Amino acid sequence: MHAVPTNETIITRTLGRGPDRSVNIGAWQFARWRQFIGSYELPALVDPVFVVHVGGKPDTRLWQADHWSSVRSVPGCATIVPADVSTGWRIEGELDVVTVSVPLAELTQQSAVDQFRAMRFAFADPLGIALTRQILGELYAAPTDERVSYIGTLLDALRAHTLRGSVPVAETAIPSADTSAYRIHQIMNEILAHPEDDHSLDALARQAELTPSHFCRVFKKATGTTPHQYVMKARLDRAQELLGASDMSIAAIADQMGFTSQSHFTRAFRQYTGQTPSGWRQTIQ
């Protein structure tokens, strides 16, 4: 008689190794997965999953119909993967996530059913993420009776929060800190979604409700690059996609991506890739 598969066994088969740490709350499974991996397809899971991106590559993308998502998950983001849906992922580096498998049998309230009915990628859930990180830290510490009891309490809180769902930040009246990870992540995703837009320092700083100098410090601390470098990288990444997937001229791509001239685009592209745009197009084709 074959054992009924669980989310943990399905993910283990896909990644080729088991979780780095795991613990159960009744039928709930809490597991951390760490693995260097490229692109992969995860088969449909038996139960929906609340996923927290805790570390590793700050550039995880989801396969959407016929392309990789422009929105990227970075450490500190949450994702919901419904049951019975296969998903595609691109990591190209270290995967480091926590999965919380939610038993379908416990989704008795309509709000909980709605919460896990559809895919939801790279969203902000400060409390869920904080609880996940706290539990993870405790799992690596030496076990004691007090610690076991504490972990159980945290897991119960995470279970209750997961079933209730996170209220979207835009709908709350709670003010954000200047260095809010959500606020910076929102700006990053807007740049990635529309790299051709102006994205001037003054405009980005106003969106973050910070002075330009303070915004530069906060943004570089969060991303490792200046706002200008981040915008330029997003434009050049999109230009690479256009060079490989379209017949647009170099001049048209330069103009569409917001460069002041074709020569400006060519200089930036060569500095970024080591090749001219035309040379890079010939290489990949």
Whether residue 247 has pLDDT greater than 70:
yes
CATH of the domain at 155: 2.60.120.10
Does residue 2 sit within a domain? no
Check whether residue 202 and residue 132 sit in a common domain: no
d(CA 189, CA 74): 10
Nearest to 136 by CA among 111, 163, 154, 116: 154
pLDDT digits (tens, 9 = 90+) for 197-230: 989 999 998 888 888 888 888 888 877 889 999 9
Do residue 149 and residue 229 come from a single domain? no
d(CA 214, CA 212): 6
End of a domain among 107, 136, 171?
A: 171
Of 171, 194, 215, which residue sits at a domain end?
171
Same domain, 158 and 229: no
> What is the Cα–Cα distance from 136 to 1, expressed in whole angstroms?
35
**Could you say which DSSP state residue 42 is in?**
E
Q: What is the pLDDT of residue 243?
A: 87
Same domain, 42 and 113: yes
Residue 180: is its pLDDT beyond 50?
yes
192/71 Cα distance (integer angstroms): 7
Q: What is the CA radius of gyration of the chain?
A: 21
Domain limit, last residue, from 153, 171, 189: 171
Whether 142 shows a pLDDT value over 60: the answer reads yes
44, pLDDT greater than 90: yes
Do residues 49 and 100 lie in contact, with contact meaning Cβ atoms separated by under 8 Å?
yes
Confidence of residue 182 (pLDDT cuts 50, 70, 90): low
63 shares a domain with 161: yes
Count of CB atoms within 10 A of residue 13's CB?
A: 12
The gap between the terminal CA atoms of the chain, to the nearest Å, is 51
Which domain, by its residues, includes 69? 7-171
Q: Helix or strand or coil: residue 53? A: strand
Q: And the tokens for 119?
A: 């895919």
Specify the residue for token string 């700050």.
58
- Give residue 181's pLDDT band: very low, low, confident or very high (50, 70, 90): low
Instruction: Indicate whether 23 and 110 sit together in one domain.
Output: yes
Residue-wise DSSP of 78-147: EEEE-TT--EEEEEEEEEEEEEEE--GGG--SHHHHHHTTS-EEEE--HHHHHHHHHHHHHHTSPP-HHH
CB 219 within 8 A of CB 226: yes
Domain total in the chain:
2
| pLDDT at residue 1 greater than cutoff 70 | no
What was the pLDDT predicted at 2? 57
